[in-house]
A and B are shown apart, each in its own frame.
Chain A
Amino acid sequence: MSDELLRVNQLNVRFPVMSRGLLRRQTSDFHAVKDLSFHLNRGETLGIVGESGSGKTSLVRALIRAIKPSSGSAVFNSSQGQVDLCQLSDKQLVPLRTQMQMIFQDPFASLNPRMKVGEIIAEPLAIHAPASRAEHRGRVIEMLGRVGLEASAIQRFPHAFSGGQRQRIGIARALIMQPALVVCDEAVSALDVSVQAQVLNLLADLQAELGLTYIFVSHDLNVVRHFCERALVMYRGEVVEEGAVDDLFDRPQHNYTRLLLSAIPSIDPDVRLAPLSRASLGLPIE
């Protein structure tokens, strides 16, 4: 545990539930992430798996401060020393944005359709590293090369690209400031399987090249098993199991993990899908 990048302690995310009507009062709240703790080492890939409503997206969005966590701490070893991401104001977070970035699920929604690809990728530079256009252009072209796109892409608009290429543009934007931590929120879920393979390979290559640390959120257990070293299994806002992926997948301890694994359809038509039933595992029926 010598080189820890992030340590999350007792993190909670709650969403207020408002009443309808003229005077919107908070009636209750929805507890999306409950007392969650984990750590993340530099250079590793941590998977977070769970079904919809498990709180995995709320968790990473809180970590990267797209939403504000309700309580808890997330100590980040930034280049300026240790900071608690949960305590910082939006303004204080701005310089840290270069060190943690996110890759989104939807390659169509995550790029501004009215900006050219060059402007999209250069946006972090424009915000954090004011310099001449020519300098930015050089870095953008270099980054485009790294993600496997041609330099001519900078003059074009996102709609000229396929889903996989757009995801590469999103990756280039996230990585151009060379962040330490990259959160991939279902980053390959919207892609076709052949494109998904290419993007996963790219992410692995870039990790090796740039020494990135990934938090990799996915509902697809196969992808997590392939791509991650360690994984958290989330269920109803809590981590029910945590461990190295091989242990987790080969010797699941928690009933929910067992249920998830049993539901993966095998690619072999002779291995019949036989999902365990929630009732027999003592889990509440949906």
Chain B
Amino acid sequence: MSQEQILSINNLTVEFGSELGTQTALHGISFVMQRGRTTAIVGESGSGKSVTAYSTLRLIEAPGRITAGEILFRPTGLPVFDILALRPDSDALYNLRGNQIAMIFQEPMTALSPVHTIGNQVMEAILTHRPVGKAEAFMQATDMLRRVGINNAAERMHQYPFEFSGGMRQRVVIAMALVCQPELLICDEPTTALDVTIQAEILALIRDLKDEFNSSVLFITHDLGVVAQIADDVVVMHQGRILESGSVRQVLKSPLHPYTRGLLGAMPGLPGLQPRRHDKARRLATVNDSQGTTDFGQHPLISLNDGRRVALPQAKIDEALKP
């Protein structure tokens, strides 16, 4: 694992047990995150994208179980270690969560405690991981709130989450996540619950703050538009397997895997990608149209010369690469 890589997930396998048997959520997936870049995992429900994010912070709870694999993490200036090898109650894991790796969740309301002020919660994040006094923590928290775009930050420190709108709450959550300057920021569908105009603001904010703090971001989403706007690298997941990965331009502009093509084709209202007619014959392409009934998910990933990987037989790749 080279210096430029911050996270390397190898053969990660996660299973969920139920009364009716065991379901495999991740079938031994592997990918690498480059330092200072935003990697997006895109997939539909059941693809295992959130499970991947949760595994990285060891947040998988029973009946879920990580059964195999390693997650290598290299903080700046520190040796590589395997997150999965940490003991459940160890200081190292405690330090990892919130300090080295921070997470932003989909629902800002559930990430904030309704009975504590915003200021207390942001300060809590600082006081847990940094050896600073209350006054200093207050200063840092106020400063952080200002940087995520909250006006009158000092005043709003004393308010409760219900006094904030959804978008403002998500800004607070981002402030809490970034206040300890984590090396890696994991965003699990951070804009899915928000209106489109607020989503645009939050995306811009995450993009700016990532550059400002020089963090690496793992961004989980189902929305290809969001991927296009936020990601440098993309991992396409389906049913617990990676089907395709590469740079955002490679994956979105010249997708190789039929599933990726199907997803793009299924996006409505995209001028240019399909004719938009109002003759009652308007149809969207579906994944089935491009993929047919063939299931390519079982095929091992093949690495191409240009750095991307795709789960297809070589013949199919050659066919797809032809203009």
Task: Specify whether A and B are partners.
Answer: yes
Asked if B203 and A265 sit within 8 Å, CB to CB, the answer is: yes
Chain B residues closer than 8 Å to A270, beta-carbon distance: 249
Asked if B203 and A264 sit within 8 Å, CB to CB, the answer is: no
Asked if A275 and B204 sit within 8 Å, CB to CB, the answer is: yes
A 260-282 binary contact with B (CB < 8 Å = 1; else 0): 10111111111111010010000
Nearest to A249 among chain B residues (CB) is B269
**A201-B286 Cα distance, complex, nearest whole Å:** 9
Q: How large is the interface on B (under 10, 10 to 19, 20 to 34, 35 or more residues)?
A: 35 or more
A 203-233 binary contact with B (CB < 8 Å = 1; else 0): 0100110000000000111111111010000
B198 nearest CB across to chain A (Å):
7
Chain B residues closer than 8 Å to A269, beta-carbon distance: 228-229, 231, 248-249, 252-253
Chain B residues closer than 8 Å to A196, beta-carbon distance: 266, 268
Asked if A268 and B252 sit within 8 Å, CB to CB, the answer is: yes
* Residues on B facing A (Cβ under 8 Å): 44-45, 165-168, 195-201, 203-204, 222-226, 228-229, 231, 248-249, 252-253, 262-270, 273, 276, 278, 280, 282-288
Chain B residues closer than 8 Å to A224, beta-carbon distance: 269
Nearest to A226 among chain B residues (CB) is B268
Nearest to B248 among chain A residues (CB) is A269
**A267-B195 Cα distance, complex, nearest whole Å:** 18
B278 nearest CB across to chain A (Å):
6
**Interface status of A192 (Cβ within 8 A of chain B):** yes
Asked if A273 and B197 sit within 8 Å, CB to CB, the answer is: no
Chain B residues closer than 8 Å to A226, beta-carbon distance: 268-269, 276, 282, 284
Given contacts A225-B269, A268-B253, A194 and B263 within 8 Å (CB-CB): yes
**A196-B203 Cα distance, complex, nearest whole Å:** 24
**A94-B280 Cα distance, complex, nearest whole Å:** 32
Contact of A192 among B222, B229, B280 (CB under 8 A): B222
Given contacts A201-B284, A267-B267, A193 and B195 within 8 Å (CB-CB): no
A269 nearest CB across to chain B (Å):
4
Nearest to A268 among chain B residues (CB) is B228
Nearest to A222 among chain B residues (CB) is B269
B104 nearest CB across to chain A (Å):
18
A 158-185 binary contact with B (CB < 8 Å = 1; else 0): 0000010000000000000000000000
Asked if B248 and A265 sit within 8 Å, CB to CB, the answer is: no
**Interface status of A96 (Cβ within 8 A of chain B):** no
**Interface status of A198 (Cβ within 8 A of chain B):** yes
Asked if A193 and B197 sit within 8 Å, CB to CB, the answer is: no
